[in-house]
Structure 1
């Protein structure tokens, strides 16, 4: 896995987080916004675990599945709350099958709670890997 591809993943993840934040700023009484927010969460979460997987590969750690990726990232202190990240994965898996408005609203409320964790984790990973890049370019 190339370093360039890992850095591109971080850049794409940053954009996805901004789009998710934009959706969370909308009116949560409108079911269309809730549906849109859930869809942005699905996309952002997919990018998140795949980015973490690429970054783990940069560190010589192999993970095959989303759950394994999250557990490996937690084991090396990249994720602070393993339970929350595994719940995000469960919610992500459920969103494909949510037709119940109450369940959709519950997942939306969970996304509101998840977002600060996602943003904080992105910031830490970005600083870690962009910092490594800047240090190696200064050599």
Structure 2
């Protein structure tokens, strides 16, 4: 049996991202466009961090459970996500995760309001998929612990 991954960084980052979205949708944010933009910037940063952790934890989990962990290191992003989907770790196919990756790359241009808005609009879909991924890994680790 492989060592259990400490999922707390991913869990915490997803909780912060959910909170950021809740603040962005608050009455105060809706009533103050400047405040809303500030909060959206925070949500975008939380997305960047959560996205990075999601990909790292996908890779780590696969490394622990593949016959050849070194093979996982050599996988391209596309192949890593495909493997995650094929093994049931990810609920969404590659095209969805490629959009998340596009948004993450676009987020470095968040000073451009149109690009920031595009990234922000994609955050709820990412959060849903990342939470499903987290739940699946947690479920599998708990099952491994019981067996």
In the superposition, the TM-score normalised over structure 1's length comes to 0.84
CA deviation map 1:1-38 (0-9, x unaligned):
x724xx22x12100111111110101355111111000
Structure 2 regions of 5+ residues with no counterpart?
Answer: 26-32
- Structure-2 change in CA distance of 1:90 and 1:63 (3 Å): farther
- After superposition, the CA RMSD in angstroms is 1.8
How many Å separate the matches in 2 of 1:35 and 1:98? 8
Q: Which residue of 1 aligns with 2:133?
A: 121
How many Å separate the matches in 2 of 1:14 and 1:47? 10
Select which of 86, 91, 98 maps to 1:80: 91
- Structure 1 contact 63–69 (Cα < 8 Å) conserved: no
How many Å separate the matches in 2 of 1:110 and 1:122? 18
Structure 1 regions of 5+ residues with no counterpart?
Answer: none
| Shift in Å, 1:68 | 3.3
Count of matched residue positions in the alignment of Structure 1 and Structure 2: 131
| Shift in Å, 1:100 | 1.3
Select which of 44, 51, 62 maps to 1:45: 51
- Structure-2 change in CA distance of 1:91 and 1:97 (3 Å): same
Q: Which residue of 2 aligns with 1:19?
A: 16
Work out which of the two has the higher radius of gyration on C-alpha atoms and give 1 or 2: 2
Q: Which residue of 2 aligns with 1:89?
A: 101
How many Å separate the matches in 2 of 1:70 and 1:57? 13
- Structure 1 contact 67–89 (Cα < 8 Å) conserved: no
Select which of 59, 62, 73 maps to 2:65: 59
